[in-house]
Each structure stands twice: as C-alpha cells, then as structure tokens.
Amino acid sequence: MTPSKLYHLPFLLSLFIFACGPAPETTDDAGSGSPQPEAAATPELVAEIEGVQVTGITATDGGRIFLTFPRWRKGVPYTLAELVDGSPRPYPDAAINSWDVGQPAGDKFVNVQSAVAAGDTLYVADTRNPLMEGLITPPQIHLYDLSTNERVASYDLPPGTTVPSTYVNDLRIDQRRQRVYFTDSGQGALMVLDLTSGDSWRVLDGHPSVQATLDSLIIDGTPWTRKIPSDGIAIDLVNDRLLYHALSGYTLYAIPLSVLADPDAEDPGGAVSKVATTPACDGMWRTGGQTIMADLEKEAVVTVTDDGRVTVLAEGDAVGWADTFTEHDDWLYFTNSKLPESDSTVADINYPIWRIRL
C-alpha cells in the first residue's frame, strides 16, 4: 500500500466574504435554497491517503491531527491514526488497531467512527459495529491523555442506551457538565454519557427530528440510495444547545444542553426546535455563530446561519463528500470520504484532507 503523500500547495484564496443578502426561500420538500455564490475559496491540500478510506478528523489545541478509518470492509489496517509528516500513524499503537473482521473483539479497536480532541484529552468512540451489521459488544468510549498518549478511562454504552443496530456516529463534549453526546445513525436517536458517574441514556428515540426523510440523495446526477437518520452534530456553547441533522434530510434541529444532559427530563422531544432548512450534510462544525456543513449533493462546503442563509466556502470535485470538520488556528480542516465512490473497493482511491482559511 502506497504511503500517504504530503503536499505544500500555495493557498490561492484564503479569505471568503459572507454574503449579506436576504435569506433564500427554502422548503423541506425541495431541500436547501440556492447557496450564495460569492467568493468560494480554493482548498489547500494537507495530505492524501491512498487505499484506506478516511472519514473523521479532529485537531488538538496544539495542532495535532487525528483521523478515523471505519471498518466498513475487511482488511482495514488501522481504524485510528495520527497524521505525522503527512502519513497516518496508528494511534496509540499498531497493536490496538490490529483487529479484523471475524476475530474476537477483546481489547482492540473494532471500528472507530469518530474521535474528538477537547483540551488535553482525545475522546475515541469505538462503534463495536463492524461492517455496519450490528453490535458485537456494547460500544466503547475511550479517553486518552494527549500529553502521555495513555488511555485514562473507558466506558461502555450498554443495552438500553443502545439497541442491536446502534451505530455510534459522531460525538461532542460538554466539558462544563462532563457529558458526551452521540448520534445513533443505525437507529435514529441521541445518546448521552455522564463522565463522572459512567451512567448513560438514550434520548429522542423514534422522534421525527432524528429520522431520515429522504430515500436517496442525487450525487453527480445519480441517486445514491441510502436512508440514514441522525448523523452529524455540533455543539453550540454560546446558545447552550446541541445541533443535529439526519444525513438523509434537509433540516437542522437543536435541543438545549440542559434538557439533553438531564436523565430525568420529562419531555425532551418537546424541547426540540427546528433551526433551519439546509442542504443534506454529513458532519457539522459550529463557529462564529454559524454552522459549517457539506452540501453533499452539490459537492460543496457551506455555512448556514440560523435564519437559513447559505454561503458557499468551497466547492467542486475535490471537495466531493465533505465528511467531517475540525478547526485549528483559524483554518477549517475537512476530509473527503468519497462515500459514493467507495461502495465496492477503495484500493485505488486517494482520500484527500483539505483546509481552508476562516
């Protein structure tokens, strides 16, 4: 397998200008309105990984970059890695990443879908659901001390918090409340872990806001037939809420963190609010009072204001399926997981990691 390649390309356009016109008219049936066309940036290529599909990305305060490689097929050589000199290095080591489909789960990573750095800690979600065929053990959340690269805590998400089809997709950290929030994209729901007690619970199971509303997306003029519920999330600490979105849908929702974090909340569904009609997206990122997400059907990265105004940050074939976002030093980093192209084989596919200046 060819090692990944590091590129140092000139950054052609590092500053975008937010469109300031009125919000486009949108409807849930038609998807997002026409994005504002002004000043799309040319992404700068950070690295390119050959033959191993990358989805998740997170940056630490110090600029370390971690990537996830879900086990959606046999033979994935590592499922969590740090980007070092342009190449993925299994994290924390090769041994814990050496599991493959059909082996006992043991103490190895089975299928890391997402990892998020917060402060001095890396939070790693092992779905324990290889090939997306169902749980083989309860999903696990591992905390790593980034100063030592040692595991300092582990938690299970037991039955009740999860169901047999649960696929832990994304996570966000609420450091003030010591909570971790997750999406279940196997069977739509949110999940919460209390880091202090180790307790966890399931929220909004079956609620309309976590359900897929589309049977397919149109990618390059061709239907991509999937029906994926709650997927991307973003934490909005300014407004004390969690934003979430079904991948197969056009609506961004929010729920107050105070409700989500309370295991005894009587009616969490009653606290859900619609934020905006948006493009269909995968992961999300909240910054500057706006939500950054993909427009998967238009191969673009966009910002969406809470009143529904959409502005293009970058677009084109290179952007492709913008999967996951992270921010460091005023740069937005994101992966192109090339999901529709990777249904059969990934051996000859190059997966880029991009950044654009915010």
Following DSSP, what letter does each residue of 114-127 receive, concatenated? EEEEETTEEEEEE-
- Give CA–CA dist 143/277, Å, rounded: 35
- Give CA–CA dist 268/210, Å, rounded: 12
**Whether CATH 3.40.1080.10 fits 31-340:** no
Do 176 and 163 touch, CB atoms closer than 8 A? no
The average pLDDT across 26-32 equals 36
Asked if the model's pLDDT at residue 152 lies above 60, the reply is yes
Asked if the model's pLDDT at residue 26 lies above 80, the reply is no
Sign of CA dihedral 59, 60, 66, 68: negative
Q: What is the pLDDT of residue 6?
A: 38
Tell me the pLDDT tens digit for each residue of 45-95: 999 999 999 999 999 999 999 999 999 999 999 999 999 999 999 999 999
Asked if the model's pLDDT at residue 17 lies above 70, the reply is no
Asked if the model's pLDDT at residue 304 lies above 70, the reply is yes
Q: What is the pLDDT of residue 40?
A: 78
Distance (Å) of CA 163 to CA 137, 172, 187, 205, 248: 11, 20, 8, 10, 21
Report which of 177, 184, 231, 228 is spatially closest to residue 203, judged by C-alpha positions.
184
Q: How far is C-alpha 192 from the chain's CA centre?
A: 16
| Structure-token pair, residue 271 | 């606290």
Tell me the pLDDT tens digit for each residue of 105-146: 999 999 999 999 999 999 999 999 999 999 999 999 999 999
Q: At a CB cut-off of 8 Å and minimum separation 6, what does 212 contact?
A: 188, 227, 228, 229, 246, 247, 248, 249
Q: At a CB cut-off of 8 Å and minimum separation 6, what does 272 contact?
A: 204, 207, 209, 253, 254, 255
Distance (Å) of CA 231 to CA 114, 143, 201, 263, 344: 11, 22, 18, 21, 22
Q: What is the pLDDT of residue 91?
A: 98
The average pLDDT across 302-323 equals 96
Q: What is the pTM of this model?
A: 0.89
Following DSSP, what letter does each residue of 145-168 receive, concatenated? ETTTTEEEEEEE--BTTB-TT--E
Tell me the pLDDT tens digit for each residue of 275-297: 999 999 999 999 999 999 999 99
Question: How many other C-beta atoms can be found within 10 angstroms of the C-beta atom of residue 144?
Answer: 22
Report which of 174, 124, 175, 179 is spatially closest to residue 153, judged by C-alpha positions.
124
Report which of 85, 77, 14, 100 is spatially closest to residue 47, judged by C-alpha positions.
85
Sign of CA dihedral 316, 317, 318, 324: positive
Q: What is the pLDDT of residue 39?
A: 61
Do 154 and 128 touch, CB atoms closer than 8 A? no
Q: What is the pLDDT of residue 291?
A: 98
